[in-house]
Chains A and B, each alone.
Chain A
Amino acid sequence: MTDAVVAACRDLRRVYGDGPTAVVALDGVDLELRRGEVVALTGPSGSGKSTLLHLLGAMDSPTSGSVVVAGRDLAGLDDEAASRFRNEHLGFVFQFFHLIPSLSVVENVALPARLGGATPAEANAKAAALVERVGLGGRGDRLPDALSGGQQQRVAVARALVNDPALVLADEPTGNLDHASGGEVMRLLLELAQERGIAALVATHDPQVRDFSHREVVLEDGRLATPPTS
């Protein structure tokens, strides 16, 4: 894996259950993600997109094969180590935003930093800058419910970046937004990924995501239908 490669999967296989009812979610997936690169992960429902995101996100373990992210093989990480790894090296963006409704915009963005041990002042300063960067300056004290869907997703993007991760994993980030808002969020993600040298893997059904990605990989029945690199 070269310096430019942030994440790599080798012959990745994930099987749920066993015996005749076993379901093969991923079967021999090889994939590399590089710094500053936004990759669209597409494929029909049930093709294994979410499974791949979970394996790259240290939230699940492969049946076989390897996952290396930010130079660290995720195999064998215990829960404590996996938690720390996610906090330090990964960012997540979800379809339904998953902001904490009781925390303000800045507090939501600062949350990963505070969970990582930053002082409130440090975390809030960093978060406020990011909130400004995603175009929500002046709305930092608001609760998420007071924002539109597109704005909430921008907060989620800021939250994903607050600990300067190597990789952002986004699961249908435009799935709950209108076309224009979805485009804005993707444009923001692309800008930030390039600006900060972060790799982003975006699982999506939204065709416009391709317009904001460097390349597209397609999963079909757990297998990659396109070459691992473009």
Chain B
Amino acid sequence: MTLRGLRTVLGVLLADARAHRLQTLTTCVGIAVGVAVVVAIRTSSQSALSHFRDTVQTFTGVATHELHGPAPLPAARLAELLEAPGVTAAHPVIESHLVLDLGAEGARPVRLVGIDPFLSAPFLQLDDTAVEQASAAGLFERLMLEPGFVLMASSTLADAGFPDGGVLPARGPTGPVHVVAAGVDSSSLAAGQPPVALADLATAQELLGLGDRVTRFDLLVEGAPDAIPLQPGERLQKPASRGERAETMTEAFRLNLLCLGFLAVLVGAFLAFNMAQFAVVRRRTLLGRLRCLGADARTVLGAALLESACLGFVGSLLGLGLGWLLAREMVDDVARTVSTLYGYIETPAARLDVVTAALALGVGTIATVAACWAPARSAARTEPAVVAGRAHAPGGLVPPWVPGLLLAAGGLLLAPPSAVVLPALTVLVWLLAVATALPRLLGRVVGRVVHRPVLALAFGRLHRSLSRTGSAAGALAMPLAMTIAILVMVGSFRAEVMAWSRSIFGADVYVKPLYQELYADTARLSPELLDALGEAPEVLAVDRLRLAEQPRGETSFLVAGSPLEATRMRGSMRVLDGGDVPTLMAAMDRGEALVSEPLARRLDVGPGDVLRLDGRDGARDVPVAGVFQDFSWDRGYALVSEPRFLELYGDTGVRNAALLLAEGADAEAVARRLSARFGDAEFRSTETLRGEVLRAFNDTFAITYVLQTISTALALVGILTAVLCLHLERRAELGVLRALGARQKTVGELLVTEALVLLGVAGAVAVPAGLALAWVLVSVVNTRSFGWSFPMLVEAGPVAGLLGLALLAGLAAGCVPWWMVRRAPVADLLEDRR
């Protein structure tokens, strides 16, 4: 093999690829789609998380640690902190949001950061020019003295259309307020979204209704912070850890989607494999001529692999662009998830980073080369004699032990009980096993030949081309199995979420503070509102929900306190362990706790165990009475009675409330009436809330629908290429049949039968394989990554619909070569002229 020879053969193959644009494009698109899914998932989640991290870290400045409490902390705590060993400086910080009312232009959130200008000086990293500008204009004095005064970046004010120095109406967690916004040229104030409004601590407290409380303290600590005395429920963390925590928490979510993304790459690679097989058959004479002219087998192999690398690279580049476009659509959903779970962020721009781009190009190109390895070897083994029509392009079966080995390897990957990535890999490995097992399976099926000329011929032709048809059936079974798995997994999950939403939303109307997502740390329902709701004529009972964050190692979980009136009256709770609802309610009344399934799995606790909770009076061991199913928070939470919560954490305020209405009351109408009466809270009926849950579910799994569509499309292309491949290889045979008197109809029957047999075998393997994959996704990946368990539900309708679609595709796939044969003169078919 010489370099010049390699370049020459590669040039010939690429020219041939250019001449057959549709096939080349199909290969590239298959890879592109797989790569696009990976890029979209990675880019959207990275963008949202990096945005969250940037937002979190803006204004943490040089602080080494942050002190957070289960609720806003008293500002007086500062004095104790400054005296703590190792603390060289500390300052109180308020960080929350305000919603500016822009009239006809709607509402715009701003991030309100409240600081003490004197104490905060060592911490803040404001630009020098901004400080000079603010000092010269007397803005720092106004910051400290003028009620409602905030400093913002001039660029932000201009971009958002806020008048510099103007009075803006706004809404805080306690109701309407006014701010006066002045602009300075500051890049640090302009950083992050939503835009930052810097306020004096007292101003921020007033705007947010915090009294003398702050949301955290930033500390400069020398050495280890172990000696800092912490109050019960307080936690000390590094500034970056809030972002890291969100990343850890969303890791499982991202991993699931990424696994599906890599599955899409695998399916794309199988399509590339199919197309490469197709190309080998189509190029039989071309390859023979090259071999006749002196190209040795290694040169042909090298050139074929280089060609596949070129196609893979082009496909990956396409996928990069497509993925970026897809990410722009997806980033909004991911940002919403992060906002819901970890704190409000605005939708960031999707930013494609170098690592993602390199990963996409690498994965796409390598997957294509790997997929084309076997066809390239087949091309290299082409004998020069094929030019004279005296030899066929060689094929090859996968050694019989390979599928078994892959199955066993996949099984082993399931063995480690806590692994999340490995079971996902099992899915990939088992799919490969299915694909490699198919050639032999197909051989056994076609061995039982039915004695009818057309069927006998169809089975015989399939059997003869086993190396090709088997792998084609494998390539077809892959996307089918994957689609079935996704259909079943999402269907099971959806059914369970629907059932759960019926049980968890046992009340009729749900109440939360306005803009709660913005004021997660501070927003509370006022006692006056709760009293008024309790006295409303249509309201039977009010379920108050109180929440406290409980640090546990590097992460945390929530403790919720509620009277659970709805659960008591309507029995609405899905208990997994610990007895029936009345038993558990009685246990809660005795001070025991219930834990949600994700928390039970995370902490490995169940009925009979104790849960250590750090309350305001120190650590308390609370017995666990039962485990219940809940999809609200993937971190999981513990549920205690309201008196027990107040005893542990004191009155930290009511986050949400649920109203039980008198029998026959129209919840929607009541929600509307209450919304009109109480402007500071949002009222939603159970039906509305269920709709939102379903919408959130669909948003989260939107990418799986994309994957499902892709898989179906690839399956359809797969069957078409498989049948075309077979047709091209045995075209002369059809000529013989026609010469011997076979009618067009007979040839059509033969080709459609072949397509349907191929499809039947692929389907017969894809259905059980898909169900097995669904089981892995449902019972292993989801349980281990989310902590959610739900039974696998196989809905016959969607699976039958998919198989029906595949059947139609099979018929179409048989008709395409038939149409080609119909157009070709018998003499051309006989001499294999095309």
Chain A residues engaging chain B, CB cutoff 8 angstroms? 50, 54, 57, 59-60, 79-80, 83-88, 90, 92, 94, 96, 98, 100-103, 107, 111-112, 114-116, 120, 159, 163, 176
**B740 engages A92 (CB within 8 Å):** yes
Instruction: Compute how far the CA of A98 lies from the CA of B742 in the bound complex, rounded to whole angstroms.
Output: 15
User: Within the complex, which residue of B461, B746, B830 is in contact with A94, where a contact is CB–CB below 8 Å?
Assistant: B830
**Which residue of chain A has its CB nearest to the CB of B458?**
A102
- In the complex, are the beta carbons of B744 and A112 less than 8 A apart? no
Q: Is the CB of A101 within 8 A of B464?
A: yes
In the complex, B826 has a CB within 8 A of chain A: yes
- CB proximity to A under 8 Å, residues B373-406: 389-390
Contact A92 B825 (CB under 8 A): no
9 closest Cβ pairs, A-B complex = A87-B741, A102-B460, A59-B826, A98-B736, A83-B743, A54-B827, A112-B740, A102-B464, A86-B741
* CB <8 Å contact, A107 and B827: no
- Which residues of the partner chain B approach A98 to less than 8 Å between Cβ atoms? 732-733, 735-736, 830
CA–CA, A139 to B827, complex, Å? 30
B820 CB to nearest chain A CB (Å):
15
B456 touches A103 (CB 8 A): yes
Give bound CA distance, A59 to B738, whole Å. 9
**Contact for A83 among B741, B827, B830, CB less than 8 A:** B741
Max chain B C-beta neighbours (<10 A), residue from A94, A116, A176: A94
- Rounded to whole angstroms, the CA-CA distance of A85 and B456 in the bound complex is 24
CB of A148 to closest CB in B, whole Å:
14
Bound form: Cα–Cα A10–B830 in Å? 26
Bound-state CA distance A79–B390 (Å) is: 30
A60/B827 in contact, CB under 8 A: yes
Q: B732 to chain A: which residues have CB within 8 Å?
A: 98
Q: Does B468 contact A (CB under 8 A)?
A: no
Q: Bound state CA distance, A57 and B741, in angstroms?
A: 11
* Shortest beta-carbon distance from A73 to chain B in Å: 19
For the complex, give the distance between the alpha carbons of A107 and B739 in Å.
Answer: 17
Given contacts A50-B827, A59-B827, A60-B827, contact A100 B741 (CB under 8 A): no
Which of A50, A54, A112, A120 is in CB contact (< 8 Å) with B741?
Answer: A112
Closest to B738 in A: A83
Alpha-carbon gap, A102 to B736, bound state (A): 14
A107, B732: Cα distance in complex, Å: 18
Given A111-B453, A115-B453; A100-B460 close (CB under 8 Å): yes
The residue in chain B whose Cβ has the minimal distance to the Cβ of A85 is B741
In the complex, are the beta carbons of A86 and B451 less than 8 A apart? no
Question: Which range holds the interface residue count of chain B?
Answer: 20 to 34
Check B216 for interface membership: any CB of A closer than 8 A: no
CB of B703 closer than 8 Å to a CB of A = no
Complex CA gap A80/B745 in Å reads 9
Binary A-proximity of B797-834 (CB < 8 A = 1, otherwise 0): 00000000000000000000000000001110010000
Which residues of the partner chain B approach A87 to less than 8 Å between Cβ atoms? 740-742
The residue in chain A whose Cβ has the minimal distance to the Cβ of B463 is A102
For A110, give the chain B residue with the smallest CB separation: B453
Does B717 have its Cβ within 8 Å of any Cβ on chain A?
no
Q: Is the CB of A59 within 8 A of B457?
A: no
* B190 interface hit (Cβ, 8 Å): no
**Chain B residues numbered 709-766 whose CB sits less than 8 Å from any CB in chain A:** 732-733, 735-744, 746
Taken together as a complex, chains A and B put the C-alpha atoms of A149 and B743 apart, in Å, by 29
| Chain A residue with Cβ nearest B829 | A59
Contact B453 A100 (CB under 8 A): no
Known: A80-B744, A85-B741. 18 other contacts (CB 8 A): A54-B827, A59-B830, A60-B825, A79-B744, A83-B743, A86-B739, A92-B740, A94-B736, A96-B390, A98-B830, A101-B464, A102-B459, A102-B464, A103-B460, A107-B456, A111-B453, A112-B740, A115-B737
- In the complex, chain A residues whose CB is within 8 Å of the CB of B453: 111, 114-115
CB pair B736–A84 under 8 Å, yes or no, is no
Assess A79 versus B743: contact at CB under 8 Å? Given A102-B463, A111-B453, A115-B453. yes
Assembled-state Cα–Cα distance A125/B516 (Å):
87
Closest to B459 in A: A102
Minimum CB–CB distance from B470 to chain A (whole Å) comes to: 15
B830–A115 touching, CB < 8 Å: no
List the B side residues contacting A79 at CB < 8 Å.
743-744
26 contacts between A and B (CB under 8 A): A50-B827, A59-B825, A59-B830, A84-B743, A85-B741, A86-B741, A87-B742, A88-B741, A92-B740, A96-B389, A100-B460, A100-B461, A100-B733, A100-B736, A101-B460, A102-B457, A102-B460, A102-B461, A102-B463, A102-B464, A107-B456, A111-B453, A112-B741, A115-B746, A120-B451, A159-B740
Closest to B831 in A: A50
Q: Which residues of A contact B740 (CB under 8 A)?
A: 86-87, 92, 111-112, 115, 159
Given A102-B457, A102-B463, A107-B456, A115:B742 Cβ within 8 A: yes
Q: How far is the CA of A57 from the CA of B735 in the complex (A)?
A: 13
Report yes or no: A116 in contact with B741, Cβ–Cβ below 8 A.
yes
Set of chain B residues within 8 Å of A115, measured between Cβ atoms: 453, 737, 740-742, 746
Residues of B within 8 A of A94 (CB): 736, 830
- Within the complex, the shortest CB–CB distance from B553 to chain A, in Å, comes to 66
* Interface mask (B763-788 → A, CB under 8 Å = 1, otherwise 0): 00000000000000000000000000
In the bound assembly, the distance between CA atoms of A86 and B735 in angstroms comes to: 13
How far is it, in angstroms, between the C-alpha of A60 and the C-alpha of B53 when the chains are bound? 75
Interface centre among B390, B461, B463, B742 (most CB of A within 10 A): B742
Q: Which residues of B contact A85 (CB under 8 A)?
A: 741
B299 → chain A closest CB, angstroms: 28
- Complex alpha-carbon distance, A112 and B736, angstroms: 10
Separation of A79 and B824 alpha carbons in the complex (Å): 12
Which of chain B's residues have a CB closer than 8 A to the CB of A111? 453, 737, 740
Instruction: Tell me the complex Cα distance, A35–B740, Å.
Output: 21
What's the minimum C-beta distance from A162 to chain B, rounded to whole angstroms?
9
Judging by beta carbons under 8 Å apart, are A92 and B739 in contact?
yes
Is B457 touching A83 in the complex (CB atoms < 8 A)?
Answer: no
Look across to chain B and name the residue whose beta carbon is closest to the beta carbon of A59: B826
Interface flags, B429-471, vs A, CB<8A=1, else 0: 0000000000000000000000101001101110110000000
Q: Which residues of A contact B739 (CB under 8 A)?
A: 57, 59, 86, 92
Point out the residues of chain A lying under 8 angstroms from B733, CB to CB: 98, 100
Identity of the chain B residue whose Cβ is nearest the Cβ of A112 in the assembled complex? B740
- By a CB distance below 8 angstroms, the chain B residues around A176 are 390
- Report the Cα distance A163→B741, complex, angstroms: 11
Q: Are A83 and B461 in contact (CB under 8 A)?
A: no
Is A83 touching B736 in the complex (CB atoms < 8 A)?
no
Most chain A CB inside 10 Å of its own CB: which residue of B732, B737, B739, B826: B739
Residues from chain A with a CB closer than 8 A to the CB of B456 are 103, 107
**In the docked arrangement, what's the CA distance between A87 and B825, Å?**
17
**CA distance in complex: A60, B451 (Å):** 33
Q: Which residues of B contact A101 (CB under 8 A)?
A: 460, 464
CA distance A160 to B743 in the complex (A): 17
Q: Which chain B residue has the least Cβ–Cβ distance from A54?
A: B827
